[in-house]
Amino acid sequence: MSAEDALYQSDLPSLTLLARGKVRDIYDIDGEHMLIVTTDRLSAFDVILPDPIPGKGRVLTSVSNFWFEKMRDIIPNHLSGIPLAQILPNDEERKQVEGRAIVVKKLKPLPVEAIVRGYLIGSGWKDYQQTGAVCGITLPQGLQQAQQLPEPIYTPSTKADVGLHDENVSFERTVELMGQEKAEQVRAASIRLYQEAAAYAKERGIIIADTKFEFGVDEQGVLYLIDEALTPDSSRFWPADQYQVGISPPSFDKQYVRDYLETLDWDKTAPGPHLPAEVAEYCAAKYKEAQNRLTQN
């Protein structure tokens, strides 16, 4: 896909725009439904970069929908099943967002991001080197970078506004925010979702090092999986055949872009720098490869 086909920002005059996030544009439909459009925007270090990654939004939508379907026996999700054509009868509007827009149920989002880590990498590795723990969870001594943890750990964070950094919090803090029962339910669902997805992905040559889930509840308090699920944006995907303990493996996600940005003289505050075309194209190809490995028979 060329840069001309990329969608940096959607424009749907027939619907009311509710919000633009780092990647998603959200529109109001009615009292019970919203339209979520996944654009080709990319955020790195919590800054939205000025250049899109062509096709990324379609990949994220396809991968999320695949996991929503696969995991629906574990937990219900926010997909409504309403076709896009019913919400956007205008051909021009529909073509703009086709393949990257979903009609979802309106649910109350819970105030935490549910992060599950299966491997010691990223901020968790830095934390472990300094304290012997990750987000306050003590781990065995002598672990190496990228090593698989004895068992997955749940390290929630609070959601930050666009441009601000999420903050790691203890499980006890999530109990204060959501109540004991809901906090335990979110933790259990997150770990189970991760374990099932990691086992499946490994058969397809992908290691899911860590991932982030978001949850919402309906008026009856029923828990739903929302936002996106197990995508290259919300997870760290490694090619299994290039994995080795002691080094940071290459990945199928935006880590390639992060690594490029680390070589620049940039203070990681907005505005973000422009990406060279070859960096954007390589990143797009890695997203597509992850989609193909996970979703194709």
Residue 256: what pLDDT? 84
Exposed, middle or buried: residue 225 (CB in 10 Å: 0-12, 13-18, 19+)? buried
Same domain, 75 and 122: no
Residue-wise pLDDT tens digits, 226-238: 999 999 999 999 9
Q: What is the pLDDT of residues 242-252, one digit of tens each?
A: 999 999 998 88
Residues 72-109 pLDDT 10s? 999 999 999 999 999 999 999 999 999 999 999 999 99
Maximum Cα–Cα distance for the chain, whole Å? Answer: 60
* Cα–Cα dist 138/244, whole Å: 23
Where residue 261 falls among pLDDT bands split at 50, 70, 90? very high
Whether residues 73 and 124 share a domain: the answer is no
Query: Reduced to 3 states, what is the DSSP secondary structure of residue 92?
Result: helix
Residue type, 220: Q
Domain assignment of residue 161, yes or no: yes
Specify the number of domains making up the chain. Answer: 2
9 assigned to some structural domain: yes
* pTM of the predicted model as reported, rounded to 2 decimal places: 0.93
Encode pLDDT of 269-280 as tens digits: 999 999 999 999
The confidence score (pLDDT) of residue 3 equals 57
Regarding whether 249 and 117 lie in a shared domain, the answer is yes
Domain assignment of residue 222, given as a range: 109-253
Domain check: are 37 and 91 in the same one?
yes
Residue finishing a domain among 50, 82, 106: 106
Q: Closest Cα to residue 125, out of 112, 139, 114, 109?
A: 139
pLDDT band for 160, please (50, 70, 90 cuts). Answer: low
Shared domain check, 113 and 97: no
Residue 194 domain-assigned? yes
- Domain contains 184: yes
Q: Which pLDDT band holds residue 2 (cuts at 50, 70, 90)? A: low
Average the pLDDT over each of 9-23, 46-60, 126-140, 248-262 and give the range with the smallest value. 248-262
- Are residues 13 and 100 located together in one domain of the fold? yes
Q: Which of 181, 140, 134 is nearest to 156 (CA)?
A: 134
Question: Is residue 48 situated within a structural domain?
Answer: yes
Residue 199 scores a pLDDT above 90: yes
75 and 128 part of one domain: no
Domain identity same for 147 and 176: yes
Judge whether residue 165 has pLDDT over 80. Answer: no
Question: Among residues 106, 141, 169, which one ends one of the domains?
Answer: 106
The verdict on residue 148 lying in a domain is yes
- CATH label of the domain that carries residue 141: 3.30.470.20
- Residue 274 is predicted with a pLDDT of 96
- pLDDT over 60 at 286, yes or no: yes
The pLDDT confidence band at residue 53, using thresholds 50, 70 and 90, is very high
The residue whose two tokens read 């009856």 is: 220
200 and 230 co-located in one domain:
yes
Do 76 and 169 fall into the same domain?
no
Q: Are residues 195 and 123 in the same domain?
A: yes
Give yes or no: residues 244 and 135 share one domain.
yes
Mean pLDDT of the chain: 94
